């Protein structure tokens, strides 16, 4: 007799996972979804298998707020191993070039300001970017020549944490679409040497940071009902986005996807991006036009 099928739960919220080394983001989502028995799950920003750190996992209705987290600022701590470039720009790839040059601390710190602000970056060929519908890393692994266009990125700050002749550790705060592997490659080349990422840890994504994170091992050690204490509210993803608190009749209309007229002193006439709530619960994300809240995504 086969075991009874596990019933999937319609739960919603965020699990802020500290993804372990050598696990894909998809595998991590699958594991967390199974541990919580969630009917639906996704993640807010891929982490390479060899990277560790913050992988915000959206359960249920939280998946509708994923873009807000993906667009948030990210903080990475990473190590550049000096003297060798690899095909993947990290420790996974084969060495494709070497150099005997080892930069000193002063030289490294002197060029870091060149890697702040808004500038163009060439992504690694082993990336999830698509070329004519195919992933760049699939084409690269098949031995095809991969040509990617430079993309505009934003780096808010980059600082040296520790320096050694073999490798240096840095911390960067950056916007969506920044490839740390490319940063490491370009910093090394700017210093007249070669380098690749030998360690990568994401310390923050949007409103979520290491302080919020839980490991898979820790979740596995808990009883099912204890795990639920690690589910954070859907609304945490909307930190920094203006909130509109609705009354019961307005909330009922928005739940059906209808626009509502905002009333009361200080009600906005126009707003590009905001979210509506009732009793602290997310109802919808949307915008305000001519004094009406117009829902884009309704949360059930």
Q: What is the pLDDT of residues 107-142, one digit of tens each?
A: 999 999 999 999 999 988 877 778 878 887 787 787
Active site residue 48: yes
Q: Are strands 95-98 and 84-86 parallel, antiparallel or unpaired?
A: antiparallel
Specify whether the CB–CB gap between 17 and 213 falls below 8 A.
yes
**pTM of the predicted structure, to 2 decimals:** 0.91
Specify whether the CB–CB gap between 153 and 175 falls below 8 A.
yes
Specify whether the CB–CB gap between 244 and 253 falls below 8 A.
no
Secondary structure class of 96 (helix, strand, coil): strand
Is the CA virtual torsion 146, 152, 154, 159 positive or negative?
A: positive
Q: Radius of gyration (Cα) for the chain, nearest Å?
A: 22
d(CA 219, CA 223) in angstroms, rounded, equals 8
Span of 6-15, 102-111, 198-207, 223-232 with lowest mean pLDDT: 6-15
Residue given tokens 């707003």 in the structure block: 271
From the candidates 48, 89, 186, 212, give the one annotated as an active-site residue: 48
Specify whether the CB–CB gap between 14 and 231 falls below 8 A.
yes
The string of pLDDT tens digits covering residues 168-188 is: 999 999 999 999 999 999 999
Is the CA virtual torsion 93, 94, 96, 102 positive or negative?
A: positive
């Amino acid at each position: 007799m086969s075991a009874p099928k596990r019933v999937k739960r319609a739960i919603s919220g965020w699990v802020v996972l500290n993804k372990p080394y050598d696990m894909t983001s998809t595998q991590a989502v699958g594991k967390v979804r199974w541990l919580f028995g969630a009917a639906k799950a996704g993640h807010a920003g891929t982490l390479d298998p060899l990277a560790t750190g913050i992988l915000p996992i959206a359960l249920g209705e939280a998946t509708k707020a994923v873009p807000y987290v993906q667009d948030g600022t990210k903080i990475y701590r990473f190590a550049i191993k000096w003297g060798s470039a690899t095909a993947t720009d990290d420790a996974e790839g084969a060495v494709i070039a070497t150099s005997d040059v080892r930069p000193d601390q002063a030289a490294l710190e002197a060029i870091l300001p060149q890697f702040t602000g808004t500038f163009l970056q060439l992504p690694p060929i082993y990336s999830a970017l698509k070329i004519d519908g195919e992933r760049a890393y699939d084409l690269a692994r098949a031995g095809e020549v991969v040509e990617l266009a430079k993309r505009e990125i934003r780096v808010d700050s980059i600082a040296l944490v520790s320096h050694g002749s073999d490798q240096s550790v840095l911390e960067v705060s950056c916007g969506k679409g920044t490839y740390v592997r490319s940063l490491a490659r370009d910093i090394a080349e700017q210093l007249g040497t070669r380098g690749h990422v030998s360690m990568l840890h994401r310390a923050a994504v949007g409103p979520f940071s290491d302080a919020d994170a839980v490991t898979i091992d820790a979740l596995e050690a808990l009883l099912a009902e204890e795990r639920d204490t690690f589910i954070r509210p859907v609304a945490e993803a909307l930190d920094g986005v203006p909130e509109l608190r609705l009354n019961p009749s307005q909330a009922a209309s928005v739940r059906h996807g209808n626009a509502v007229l905002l009333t009361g002193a200080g009600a906005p006439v126009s707003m590009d991006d905001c979210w509506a709530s009732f009793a602290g619960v997310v109802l919808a994300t949307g915008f305000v036009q001519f004094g009406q809240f117009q829902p884009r995504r309704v949360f059930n």
